[in-house]
Amino acid sequence: MVRGNSYGKGNDMKKIIFLSFFFINIYYAKSFSTNELYEKIDLFGEVIEKIQKDYVDDVNQSKMMESAINGVLQSLDPYSAYMSPELFKEMQTDTRGEFGGLGIEIGMESGVVKVISPIDDTPAEKAGIKAGDYIVKIGETQVQGKSLMEAVKLMRGPVGTSIDLTIRRKGVKKPLEFEITRRIIEIKSVDSEILGKKKNLGYIRIKSFNENSDKQILEIIKKYEKNKKIEGYILDLRNNPGGLLTQAINITDFFLDEGEIVSTKGRKTSETRKFFARKGDEVEGKPIIVLINNGSASASEIFAGALKDHKRAIILGENSYGKGSVQSIIPLRNGGGMRLTISKYYLPSGDSISEVGVTPDIVVEEIESNFKISTDNDNQLNYALKLFNS
pLDDT in tens, 257-280: 999 999 999 988 888 999 999 999
Average pLDDT for residues 364-385, to the nearest whole number?
79
Domain boundaries, the chain: 5-59, 94-181, 190-389
Task: Please give the angle made by the CA atoms of 196, 199 and 205, to the nearest 5 degrees.
Answer: 45
Poorest-pLDDT segment among 77-91, 126-140, 238-252: 77-91
The string of pLDDT tens digits covering residues 313-352 is 999 999 999 999 988 889 999 999 998 999 999 999 999 9
Alpha-carbon span 29 to 36, nearest angstrom: 10
Which of 287, 286, 261, 292 minimizes the C-alpha distance to 360? 292
Tell me the residue type at 352.
S
Which of 239, 252, 229 minimizes the C-alpha distance to 372? 239
The string of pLDDT tens digits covering residues 35-88 is 787 788 788 888 888 888 888 888 888 888 888 888 888 888 888 888 888 888
Q: Alpha carbon 56 to chain centroid distance?
A: 38
Greatest pairwise CA separation for the chain in angstroms: 83
Alpha-carbon span 178 to 275, nearest angstrom: 42
Average pLDDT for residues 86-111, to the nearest whole number?
71
Which of 87, 223, 59, 72 minimizes the C-alpha distance to 151? 87
Residues annotated as catalytic (active site), given as ranges: 298, 309, 323
Alpha-carbon span 215 to 123, nearest angstrom: 27
> In which band, very low, low, confident or very high, does the pLDDT at 371 lie, cut at 50, 70 and 90?
low
Instruction: Specify the CATH number for 94-181; select among 2.30.42.10, 3.90.1150.10, 3.20.10.10, 3.40.50.11540.
Output: 2.30.42.10
Tell me the residue type at 174.
K
CATH number of 190-389: 3.90.226.10
Whether the per-residue pLDDT at 136 is higher than 90: the answer is yes
10 phi/psi in degrees, rounded to 5: -85, 0
Whether 234 contacts 291, CB under 8 Å: yes
